[in-house]
Structure 1
Amino acid sequence: MKNPNPPEFIVLYRWKIKPGMEDQFIEGWSQGTALFREMGSLGSRLHRGSDELWYGYAQWPSAEARSDAFGRPLNSPWFAMMHEAIEMSLPEIILEPISDFLVLPIAVN
């Protein structure tokens, strides 16, 4: 079944992570995602590719919602944790949702 309310704004991030700093990067990404969810983000996914790059996928209800969240002062160490672990960062890619058939698991409390 097609998602009736797909996110309007999606960003794909790509990095090469310094060897041995993967756990620190994951923790920083996780903390950042939690903070941005409080600011209106629709969540994210983090992937390690077979090409040795890491891929982050973040969803927002709109470009404005992301801009507002990124414009706020961030008083959390997550940003420094991530950036310390990054060996190389590639330009972000803005994705336009065309067709969304992603099935999300139901959260169990």
Structure 2
Amino acid sequence: MKASGVTLKEEDLAVCNVKVNLTRGRWNPLERVKIFKDYDSEVMFSIADGRANHLLPVCNEDIIVRVYSKKHELVEVISEAFGNFQLKTYGLKTQVHETPEKKCRTPLLPESNV
């Protein structure tokens, strides 16, 4: 991170990539499904992409990337770095969810009134 003057190291964070797909990766699973005209028919056919568009999702695979800070004091810096990475790589910042306060390992202490 150049803007904040902090140099992040690989051991400061953990990255978890999760793929969620419809069993065939990025490929349309209906390409492998054979359809019969009626119950007694032995002739099979596939549904053309143009005929089934309303049945299918736009994307057949999602990739969820989770970035975890191993040091509480680096959470904001890592969050900003990940946002910058998304902008540079994809041209936009996708959904970023913060860790709910009740799940933080290091409790946030209220500021003292000194």
Instruction: Give the TM-score normalised by the residue count of structure 2.
Output: 0.31
Higher RCO (CA-CA < 8 Å; seq separation 6+): 1
Instruction: Compare CA radii of gyration and give the structure with the larger one.
Output: 2
The answer to which structure has the higher strand fraction is 1
